[in-house]
Amino acid sequence: MLNRLFGKFSKDIGIDLGTANTLVYVKDKGIIINEPSVVAINTRIDQIVAVGDEAKNMLGKTPPHIFVSKPLTNGIISDYEVVEKMLRFFIDKVYDEGFNFASRTRVVISVPLEITEVEIKAVEDVLFASGAREVNVIQSSIAAAIGSRMPIEDPIGNMIVSIGAGSTEVSVISLSGIVVWKSSKIAGDEMNRNIMQYAREVFNLLVGESQAEQIKIKVGSVIETNEKIEFPLRGRDIITGLPREVMITDAHIREAISRSVQNIVDLIKTTLEMTPPELTADIHERGLLLTGGGSLLRGIDKLVADATEIPVRISDDPMSSVVRGSGHLLDNANLLKEVKLPSARNRKN
């Protein structure tokens, strides 16, 4: 009775709680929040200073009493209290009209494939503490497939490769379930670290993670391009300790991230080797789908297609496919019932 009453006033939302970014989808409105999963805290007064874009801009630039936290590691909550504050901030932003009675909302949230029951319970606890009245937890690969309009309910093989910030997930889906999957922590953040290490070893230059990420986006590629791409890389000279700038090219980035990219290709091949023959035939005919921010690396679709000898396509707006899938499930109760994970809060030891 109370759930039906709250349902009339609340806003149902879908959440992609990602390592790099948190996206929030509101039913009938679409994606209204897309901000970095970063929180800045003043440790002197134990108070949040900034969340999202504003907090990310503070990375590496704060005085000692302001701590900038990235509270998700590989899509898993590493700092419960900070995630709770961050989610409460975003949910309050959804309800910026201040109608507190409506703050009891229904949530569909995605989680990584490699997650434990304890970690699922942590996600549920955080959302209930943030004001949710109902929490539905789904696997991120399922959400991404739904958001990319893959026919996951049919008895055919659907292969999706999600290259996020904290992890890469490869899944084969059929009849609304994941048949086989593999996951690796080699993903976007690892490529950033590769670029930082490369800059140090090749150019004797110390660069921050934000700078490395920007370079990856600007000039990153995994196959040779027709035109040479250059971009200035700025950092601190290891020898002199002074600021210095060098021009870095797409060839440098290819060399820096080559091992990580090859690990992702090997992960895809290993998953294909584990896939039942009937589903492999479907995938060979239909191809596989790339999604997540890593799928925007220049040439990665062609590289994977050449390595696997199957067609590869990139999802429309791959950065938001997970949250769009969560949003779709808000309107499809039957499919949500099929794909949601059992609540960890209701299980008895």
Question: Cβ–Cβ contacts within 10 Å for residue 151, how many?
Answer: 13
- Tokens 């109608």 -> residue: 99
Answer whether 224's CB lies under 8 Å from 253's CB. Answer: no
Beta bridge partners of 35: 22
Residue 115 marked ligand-binding = no
Residue 293 marked ligand-binding = yes
Residue 85 marked ligand-binding = no
What kind and span of H or E run contains 314? strand 312-314
Phi and psi of 316, rounded to 5°?
-65, 130
Residue 20 marked ligand-binding = yes
Which tokens in the block code for residue 257?
């991230």
- Tokens 């910026």 -> residue: 96
Residue 211 marked ligand-binding = no
Short-list 209, 114, 146, CA closest to 14: 146
Phi and psi of 273, rounded to 5°?
-65, -30
Question: Cβ–Cβ contacts within 10 Å for residue 320, how many?
Answer: 21
Length reported for the chain:
349
Cα-to-chain-centroid distance, residue 209:
17
Phi and psi of 55, rounded to 5°?
-70, -40
Residue 165 marked ligand-binding = yes
Residue 287 marked ligand-binding = no
Short-list 259, 96, 145, CA closest to 191: 259
Q: How many whole angstroms separate alpha carbon 289 and alpha carbon 91? A: 31
Residue 296 marked ligand-binding = yes
Residue 241 marked ligand-binding = no
Question: Cβ–Cβ contacts within 10 Å for residue 178, how many?
Answer: 19
Residue 260 marked ligand-binding = no
Phi and psi of 156, rounded to 5°?
-135, 160
Contacts of 330 (CB under 8 A, 6+ apart): 12, 13, 14, 25, 27, 106, 108, 336
Q: Which amino acid is at 133?
A: R
Residue 295 marked ligand-binding = yes
Residue 220 marked ligand-binding = no
Q: Which residues are annotated as a binding site for ATP?
A: 19-21, 165-167, 213-216, 293-296
Q: Which residues are annotated as a binding site?
A: 19-21, 165-167, 213-216, 293-296
